[in-house]
């Protein structure tokens, strides 16, 4: 984690994570991320995930149902051709280095995809106020006696999400450990 000296510590941020299994989750942070010797933040901090954990991939959204049996042969052929084109487009990776212009971010995916039942886990009033903790080697949100709602390593590539009493949240991913595909931090500056 790098220091951001120019931003005030009172600026809220949103942390968005998409893992390699396309699970999307994150946190609203009451304060800007910083390297600190102790936990900081307030009860405005919360964590979230999108129900079903996985959002529909572009391939799932792009494929139309096959034409019904009553459709003409021409209509059936049009649907097949359209499905083939859409499948080919969906198979092109959005993160392919050869096609930088098509890169998408977590926030774009969330905006573009159908978001089903986001689950938000707010502060429970838990007496331990360990909301945010940043060190040179990790980022942690919701520290609860050895269990973190979100833990991400210094390379922003691996992490863990566990049940957390501070937010009364389950693990935000189907398995506790995850490999991050995309990590974004959006800071609100006023």
End-to-end CA distance of the chain: 23
Same domain? For 92 and 124 the reply is no
Whether residue 93 is contained in a domain is answered as yes
Domain C-terminal end among 43, 74, 102: 102
Do the Cβ atoms of 23 and 173 come closer than 8 Å?
A: yes
What was the pLDDT predicted at 189?
A: 83
Same domain? 97 vs 147? no
| Same structural domain, 70 and 49 | no
Domain that holds residue 88: 58-102
Asked if residue 170 and residue 151 are part of one domain, the reply reads yes
Query: Could you tell me if residue 108 is inside a domain?
Result: no
Identify whether residues 27 and 119 lie together within a single domain: yes
Nearest alpha-carbon partner for 148 in 175, 171, 173:
171
Q: Which residues of 142-176 are buried (b: 16+ CB within 10 A; e: fewer)?
A: bbbeebbbbbbeeebeebbbbbbebbebebbbeee
The label of the residue with tokens 């021409």 reads: 74
Query: Do 73 and 155 have their domain in common?
Result: no
Neighbours of 9 (CB within 10 A): 13
Residue 81 lies in a domain: yes
Q: Among residues 102, 129, 158, which one ends one of the domains? A: 102
Has this prediction a pTM greater than 0.75? Answer: no
Q: Report the pLDDT value the prediction gives residue 44, as an integer from 0 to 100.
A: 95
Query: Do the domain assignments include residue 2?
Result: no
Helix (H) or strand (E) holding 83: helix 73-91
Residue 69 Cα distances to 65, 73, 86, 110, angstroms: 12, 9, 22, 35
Q: What is the pLDDT of residues 24-64, one digit of tens each?
A: 999 999 998 999 999 999 999 999 998 754 444 444 433 33
Q: Which of 46, 78, 102 is the last residue of a domain?
A: 102
Identify whether residues 51 and 69 lie together within a single domain.
Answer: no
Cα–Cα distances (Å) from 26 to 37, 59, 181, in that order, read: 23, 24, 13
Per-residue pLDDT of the chain (190 residues; tens, 9 = 90+): 444 444 455 789 999 999 999 999 999 999 989 999 999 999 999 999 987 544 444 444 333 333 344 445 555 455 455 444 443 443 343 333 343 434 556 555 555 455 667 899 999 997 877 999 999 999 999 998 889 999 999 999 999 999 999 999 999 999 999 999 999 999 988 7
Instruction: Provide the number of structural domains found in the chain.
Output: 2
141 inside domain = yes
**8, part of any domain:** no
- Residues 188/11, Cβ–Cβ less than 8 Å: yes
């Amino acid at each position: 984690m790098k220091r951001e000296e120019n931003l005030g510590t009172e600026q809220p941020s949103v942390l968005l994570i998409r893992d390699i299994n396309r699970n999307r989750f994150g946190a609203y942070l009451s304060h800007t991320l910083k390297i600190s010797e102790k936990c900081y933040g307030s009860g405005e901090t919360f964590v979230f995930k999108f129900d079903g954990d996985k959002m529909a991939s572009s391939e799932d959204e792009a494929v139309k149902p096959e034409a019904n049996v009553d459709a003409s042969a021409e209509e059936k052929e049009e649907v097949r051709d359209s499905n083939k084109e859409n499948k080919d487009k969906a198979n092109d990776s959005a993160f392919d280095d050869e096609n930088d212009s098509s890169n998408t971010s977590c926030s774009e995916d969330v905006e573009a995809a159908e978001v089903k039942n986001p689950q938000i886990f707010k502060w429970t009033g838990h007496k331990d106020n360990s909301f945010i903790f940043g060190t040179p080697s990790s980022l942690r949100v919701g520290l609860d006696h050895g269990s973190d709602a979100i833990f991400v390593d210094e390379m922003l590539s691996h992490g863990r999400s566990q049940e957390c009493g501070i937010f009364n949240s389950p693990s935000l991913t189907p398995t506790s450990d995850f490999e991050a595909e995309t990590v974004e931090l959006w800071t609100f500056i006023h």
